[in-house]
Amino acid sequence: MIGSGGARTAANLGIAAMLALFLGACGSMSLPSFSSSSPPPAPEPAPIPEMPASIRADELVGKWGLASYQNPNDRARTEAAAKAQCKQPYVIGAGASGGVIMHLADQATPQELRLKGSPSGKNYIGPAGPPGGDLDREIVSFDGRVLITRFIDKDAATRYGNMVYVRCGPRA
């Protein structure tokens, strides 16, 4: 015969076993939620696949006169001012990885930047990453002789305006 202490221990073990089974079943079944929590967040959109730009890096390599404007009415005057800067040209070099060597906004040291295309057909110059990032500049226009860019970052765009590069001499 089992004493009262043994019966109590057996009952406690039985209750513990039943509790373990019940809790195990709760983990594997889905109970309705009565809370007002929002649905799980939607998955992040897939990154834009890297697209080649319609302008090749070798088309930009060379010496350029550089000036900028804010007011579109000043474009012709700014192109003439950029041409006058060919005495002290801005040099766009060829990068080791197929990009171009240029300055980012507010950076003293030039670095290799990539030419990036986008699904919208726009072209950008900037560090590796999706097109149109804050460190990129959009190529507003390019005809082989005149390149006009605008920084994507609003603060840099305000300070630098539309950058006008006019090719110095024949293409390299």
- Reported as a single tens digit per residue, the pLDDT across 19-39 is 555 555 555 555 555 555 666
Higher confidence at residue 101 or residue 10? 101
Q: Which residue range(s) make up the domain with 149?
A: 57-167
38 in any annotated domain: no
137 in any annotated domain: yes
85 in any annotated domain: yes
Query: Would you state the structure tokens that stand for residue 147, as one six-digit string?
Result: 């390149």
pLDDT at 78: 97
- Binned at pLDDT 50, 70 and 90, residue 6 comes out as low
11 in any annotated domain: no
* pLDDT at 152 > cutoff 80: yes
* pLDDT at 170 > cutoff 60: yes
Our count of domains for the chain comes to: 1
138 in any annotated domain: yes
The model's pLDDT over 39-91, given as tens digits with 9 standing for 90+, comes to 667 666 555 567 899 999 999 999 999 999 999 999 999 999 999 999 999 99
| First CA to last CA distance, the chain | 105
Contacts of residue 126, Cβ cutoff 8 Å, sequence gap at least 6? 104, 113, 114, 116, 133, 135, 136, 137, 152
Average pLDDT over residues 151-161: 97
Burial class for 37, CB neighbours closer than 10 Å (0-12, 13-18, 19+): exposed
42 in any annotated domain: no
Question: 69: helix, coil or strand?
Answer: strand
158 in any annotated domain: yes
The model's pLDDT over 111-145, given as tens digits with 9 standing for 90+, comes to 999 999 999 999 999 999 999 999 999 999 999 99
7 in any annotated domain: no
Residue 164, H or E segment: strand 162-167
